[in-house]
Structures are given as C-alpha cells and as structure tokens.
Amino acid sequence: MTYIKKSHTKRNIAIILILIISVASAAVAYATLTAKKIEVGVKIGDTFTYSLTGSAELSGTDSTMSDGFEKYNQTDYFKVTITAINNTQISMDTLWKFKNGTEITDLQTIDIANGQKSDDYGFWAIYPANLNKADLLRPKGYDGNIVNNTDTVNYANGTRDRCFWRIDKQFSDIRDPTGATLMYDYRNIFFDRATGILTTLENYQVFNTPGKTEYIQWKLVGTSVWDI
C-alpha cells in the first residue's frame, strides 16, 4: 500500500491569518481603550465676556488701517453664551456690543475634536478640556497644531491652569505677481485648561508694503465659571 504525505500548507496559512487578525484586533481594541478621551469643559449656560482692543502703527507713506479695524476700539464687550452640547459639538450665542449701543448677534457651532464650525468668521477659540503640553489642539483635525506650553494664572478666587499655543506665519498678497508684498501673522493664544475657553489672544499683523503693524487683543474680563 502506498502512502501519500498529506500537505498542511493550507492549514498553516489559515492559522497564520487567524493569528494576524487576532493580533490586529487586539491592537485596535487597545488603541481604542488607551486613546485620550476628548473632553468638553464648558456647560450649557456658561458665559464668557471679552474686551477687544486694537492699535495700529502706520510706517508707510500710503499706509491705512485695514477695513473694519477701527471696530475693535469701538467695542464695549463681546459675550459668548454656551447654548447646547452634543458629544464634542458645542453651540453658542455670541453678542458683539459696541459703545454706541449697536449690537451684532451670531450663532456658532464648533466641533472641538476637529475644529469644524458653522460660521467660518464666527468665534472659534474653544478647545478640548485638560490638554497637556504637546497634545493636539484638534485631536481629530488636520492642522497638527499642538499645545506649546502650560502654566498657572492667578485669579480672584485662586489659581487656574492655562494652555498656550502660537502661530507664526507669512502670507503673500495674491494681487502682487512678484510675491514681494507680504504680511507676517503672529498670534499668541492662551486658554483655560479646565474649560478649553480662550482667555487671551494677541494678534500682530505686520505688512511690508505699505509698511504698517496692526495689533489686536482679546481678553477675558468676566465669566460665570470663576471669578476673574
């Protein structure tokens, strides 16, 4: 009687595939369990009130302030009220009150996980809570911006942790085909770590042709969450 040796190649391949799938599934499960949860730090009804100021240095002979720049020094206050929270999506009402009594109201919804918002020109400076140095500001976004540093700030009723990040970019005027007309944009953004809300924004925009420097500051001056 002749014996034929049975091949185990197919069985071995099947076992290897099962092992690969098991390891991959375990890795995905582990990553899911260990991924940092995106926390919302604000609550419905929270309010945040800012002062807005601006200054301009016109160094070029033909320099003028940018359109609408004067409205910063005409501002009485800018108030943000949290109206709804759905997972990582936060909705808010904003009120821009001017010294002459006029107002601009707006509705804004922003997903703090990826930065997507309903109004591209509306209030945007709110982030996940409890971020640490080197954490992504928008964990599911695409810009890759991170927390540059953290520190503490003294307030009327104690200290609070604060996060900081910085923008330093150069832009060219598309109307100049030579690319020589430039604007340098520098921003220092500070936000409260526990709530993720903006506390101070300093924005310097430096233009080379014609020469001018414009500075805008947002500063938190009141909130229902803690005593300033």
- Sequence-separated (6 or more) residues with CB below 8 Å from residue 92: 80, 81, 82, 83, 107, 108, 109, 110, 123
Strands 149-155 and 158-172: antiparallel
Sequence-separated (6 or more) residues with CB below 8 Å from residue 224: 45, 46, 47
pTM above 0.85, yes or no: no
How far, in Å, CA of 41 to CA of 46, rounded?
A: 10
Calpha distance 219→183 (Å, rounded): 24
- Please, which residues have CB within 8 angstroms of residue 43's CB and are 6 or more apart in sequence? 82, 85
pLDDT tens digits, one per residue of 111-153: 999 999 999 999 999 999 999 999 999 999 999 999 999 999 9
Tokens for 27, please give them.
Answer: 């890795």
Q: What is the widest separation between alpha-carbon atoms in the chain? A: 108
Q: How far apart, in Å, are the Cα atoms of 52 and each of 66, 138, 220?
A: 16, 25, 9
pLDDT of 10 > 80? The answer is no
Position 60 pLDDT exceeds 90: no
Q: List pLDDT tens digits, range 200-225.
A: 999 999 999 999 999 999 999 999 99
